[in-house]
Amino acid sequence: MPHKAATLALGLAALFAVTGCGGGAPSSSAPGANQLVIYSGREQELVAPLYERFEKQTGIEVDVRYGESPELSATLAEEGEHTKADVFYAQDAGAIGALASGGRLSALRPETLAKVPARFRAPDGTWVGVSGRVRVLAYNTDELRAAELPASIFGLVSPRWKGKIGMPPGNASFQSFVTAMQLSVGRERTKRWLEAMKRNDIKVYEKNGQVVEAIARGEIVAGLVNHYYVFELRAEQPDAPVANHFFAGTDPGTFVNVSAVGVLRGAEHALAARKFVDFLLGEGQHYLANATDEKEYPLASGSGARAASELKPLASIKGPDVELSGLGERLRDTVELIDSVGFGAS
């Protein structure tokens, strides 16, 4: 989206002068000693300027393969020890957790892991969260007051909301949320909730952004998305009547997920890979929290980065008590569950 590119340029100019270009798929030639091969599940428009800054700061040439996180995770698992990748930077904990469970990641250094709270990293130290996002109920402020919204996601099955709520069941972030719901309240209760939402004439969209746009148009009054989609829309449409509603306490609807990074086992450029991880937990925190429309939550201590003032403090958000590393192991079951209800996630 044009507004995103403009915001990135302005934010980076303020934080650091960026030159050069990262990019594309990995080259067919073997990388040199001063190179780093990244498999990036984070979209190019968002992170390419960040990779450029890493190149300029370290002199390490970055070779990037972009794609959807689940697909890249599956590719890395298939490539095994023959992969050219040194680093996997995933959009969500589920994709990197699936790779870690297959033994494809090496343990990160204790001093690196210590920068991020335990809830946002793998128990075995094979990956670490870079930035956080929260599942919310975005709503139309012209149609609803915050006090009218349910305290729990289970309240959305009420007849009051019939035909008025949207969600993207085929989206990876929604699937991670459903997986977390299974881990917190069980498969049967999760299935009953999905079936009740189906009966309540939920409006289905392909992407989170489409849900928020539909809310702004008045097509629906609310929808389940990640918190940052409201800010993306406002950057493009400052007067859009949309806001975020956070469900209460440990409700599954307020699931906190992370983008995450790990170093491949047997990586040819392990030293450069570790430098990249530490870079993401340093300057990368400022970039993701303050130089983009998304306003993601910084996770690493010592970086000095602060969450945007418009955000509810992360420390005050409990969400369901689930182990993020377990998301990957249940992903296939989640997709099958969503499909079985009739949402066609696969």
**127 shares a domain with 214:** no
Distance separating alpha carbons of residues 111 and 84, to the nearest angstrom: 26
pTM of the model: 0.84
**187 shares a domain with 262:** no
**145 shares a domain with 38:** no
**281 shares a domain with 228:** no
Residue 85 near residue 59, CB atoms below 8 Å: no
Is residue 315 domain-resident? Answer: no
**240 shares a domain with 182:** yes
pLDDT greater than 70 at residue 179: yes
Q: What is the CA radius of gyration of the chain?
A: 20
Sign of CA dihedral 32, 34, 40, 45: negative
Is residue 314 domain-resident? Answer: no
**333 shares a domain with 281:** no
**337 shares a domain with 212:** yes
The C-alpha angle 136, 72, 226, rounded to 5 degrees, equals 5
**168 shares a domain with 98:** no
Q: Cα separations (Å) of 296 from 19, 54, 153, 224? A: 24, 20, 22, 17
**209 shares a domain with 143:** yes
pLDDT (0 to 100) of residue 33: 64
Name the strand (E) or helix (H) holding 214: helix 208-217
In the chain, the number of structural domains is 2
Query: 247 is in which domain, residue-wise?
Result: 133-255+320-341
Distance separating alpha carbons of residues 245 and 93, to the nearest angstrom: 23
Give the model confidence (pLDDT) of 56-108 as tens digits. Answer: 999 999 999 999 888 999 999 999 999 999 999 999 898 899 899 899 999 99
> Across-strand partners of 129?
260
Mean pLDDT of 190-202: 97
